[in-house]
Amino acid sequence: MKSILLFTFLVVILLPFQSYAGWLITGRIIDREGNTIMKRYFIQNDEIKVEQYNLIYSCNLKTENIILVDPENLIYVKTNLKAYKAKVKELKLKRLNELLSLIPESQRTEYEKIYKVQMDQEVNLPEYKGDSLTIKATGDTVKLVGHKALKCIVSENGRKREELFYTNEVDISADLNMNVFLNYVYLLEPEDKTVVYRISDTYSDLVKNGLVLRRFIFEDGYRSEWQVNNIEEKNIAGYEFGIPDLCKEVTLDKWLTKEKDSDDKYYDDYE
């Protein structure tokens, strides 16, 4: 009887830690110029923080809250997905009105319609339509960070877009809905052009219950690379997804316009 009670007690005590254990994934990007950029992902219970030298952002995929941090200028902003999209559209519309004033009145309606469609596509990740994306497993396997990975070739309209190495020995899907997260990546990392096809069923069905450990990405005649260097399954402390210390809060307007004049230094309160 005592043994049963002891076992039940241990299960009750340990269960929360097991349920909320997350992931710390560390890797590196090698961009098209050959520069190496370190990057980390903290992932737990549909919260994710992405860290690199010039941008840190945290997203709660359930509440849609976002915290953006500029680690170089020690500033941050708290917002949410809806407000961020609305503010980006507002700024783009302001720019549109400035451009329309330079266009002959007879052509303004046509240009305004085209620009608004383009603006919506830049803010909202479009659904991938068609069957032009194909993924072919080569049959080759390698061992990366201790895990067996299968090599696949991703092509679109017959053109190779990337080579990826995927493992099903690491499954982060319980802690991260990747298709939802890609909407944030599309907004916050617009330089990543691969998001538009990673949202497709063809791509997401392959990787949804595993992890891509390495990618060689081909674009405009250049090659870039993403490689996972370390994977830790661990409980992520709540403060990792919170407001950073020693940073000054700014408005979303200020964040998006990044005004940098001598009369309004971001860091003057900390000098």
Give the mean pLDDT of the chain.
Answer: 88
Spell out the residues 6+ positions from residue 237 whose beta carbon is closer than 8 angstroms to its own: none
Is 135's pLDDT higher than 60?
Answer: yes
Task: Write down the pLDDT at residue 269.
Answer: 41
Stretch (H or E) spanning 91: helix 81-100
Task: Write down the pLDDT at residue 256.
Answer: 93
Sign of the CA dihedral with 58 first, then 60, 63, and 64 last: positive
Sign of the CA dihedral with 146 first, then 148, 153, and 156 last: negative
**Which tokens in the block code for residue 169?**
């020995």
pLDDT tens by residue, 178-211: 999 999 999 999 999 999 999 999 999 999 999 9
What Å distances lie between residue 78 and 60, 84, 146, CA to CA? 12, 10, 38
For residue 203, give the nearest of 241, 246, 155 by alpha carbon: 155
Q: Place 20 in a pLDDT band, splitting at 50, 70 and 90.
A: low
Is 8's pLDDT higher than 70?
Answer: no
Q: Please state the φ and ψ torsions of residue 246, each to the nearest 5 degrees.
A: 60, 20
Is 156's pLDDT higher than 90?
Answer: yes
Task: Write down the pLDDT at residue 164.
Answer: 98
Spell out the residues 6+ positions from residue 140 whose beta carbon is closer than 8 angstroms to its own: 150, 151
Question: What CA–CA distance (Å, rounded) separates 19 from 227?
Answer: 28
Question: What CA–CA distance (Å, rounded) separates 270 from 73?
Answer: 11
Task: Write down the pLDDT at residue 258.
Answer: 75
260 vs 206, higher pLDDT: 206
**Which tokens in the block code for residue 211?**
């992890």
For residue 67, give the nearest of 57, 53, 52, 82 by alpha carbon: 57
63-67, 102-106, 217-221, 266-270: the lowest-pLDDT one: 266-270
Please state the rounded mean pLDDT for residues 44-52.
98
Task: Write down the pLDDT at residue 150.
Answer: 97
Question: What CA–CA distance (Å, rounded) separates 180 from 53?
Answer: 24
pLDDT tens by residue, 58-88: 999 999 999 999 999 999 999 999 999 999 9
Task: Write down the pLDDT at residue 59.
Answer: 98
Identity of the amino acid at 134: T
Task: Write down the pLDDT at residue 229.
Answer: 98
Question: What CA–CA distance (Å, rounded) separates 142 from 234?
Answer: 25
Please state the rounded mean pLDDT for residues 152-158.
96
**Which tokens in the block code for residue 161?**
């877009």
Q: Are strands 159-167 and 75-80 parallel, antiparallel or unpaired?
A: unpaired
Q: Are strands 75-80 and 65-70 parallel, antiparallel or unpaired?
A: antiparallel
Is 4's pLDDT higher than 70?
Answer: no
Is 222's pLDDT higher than 70?
Answer: yes
pLDDT tens by residue, 38-47: 999 999 999 9
Q: Place 10 in a pLDDT band, splitting at 50, 70 and 90.
A: very low
Task: Write down the pLDDT at residue 257.
Answer: 87
